[in-house]
Amino acid sequence: MPNSDEVDRIVTAWMRERPDLDFAPLQVLSRVDRLSRHLDRARRTAFAGSDLEPPDFDVLAALRRAGAPYQLSPKALLQQTLVSSGTMTNRIDRLVTRGLVERRTDPNDGRGILVVMTDVGRTRVDGAIATLVAEERRLLDTLSRADRDRLAALLRKLSLDFD
């Protein structure tokens, strides 16, 4: 095969050794897995340039997407990041220590707490997302706009059962 990749070589070897099995799922999901590794590397690079770790970015990105005044309750952050409350508490503590967020009393509920992004946090997340979008665009450069749209639609369809 002139345009074969590592997955093609792996599947061909498996088909030789186990012709009784259907390796069609590997054709798709092994590529998704390999692409995920490239994406993870690109994300780490993008976040490192803004002195962020992926978990830091997740929290700051949720706050940034919330819009001004860039604040959410810890419960809302939990829902957006899909982590446990203990994990979220640790992430918020780390971000507070670094001066990227502050904890404030919720003015609408004196017992509630809001996590508020600082100006430094906003600068960091804005830099990270700009770099990330550029890196992700580079990863997709070989696809036409129509191919990217088709791939996005197919992945959306596949992921709906998991979300």
Separation of alpha carbons 3 and 103, rounded Å? 53
Residue % of the chain over a pLDDT of 70:
98
State which amino acid sits at residue 92: I
Mean pLDDT of the chain, nearest integer:
92
106-129 residue pLDDT tens: 888 878 899 999 999 999 999 999
Which domains does the chain show, CATH number per domain? 6-159 (1.10.10.10)
What are the pLDDT digits (tens) for 15-68? Answer: 999 999 999 999 999 999 999 999 998 888 889 889 999 999 999 999 999 999
* Torsions phi, psi for 116 (to 5 deg): -120, 130
What pTM value is reported for the model?
0.81
How far from chain centre, in Å, is Cα 87? 17
In angstroms, the CA 54 to CA 66 distance is: 18
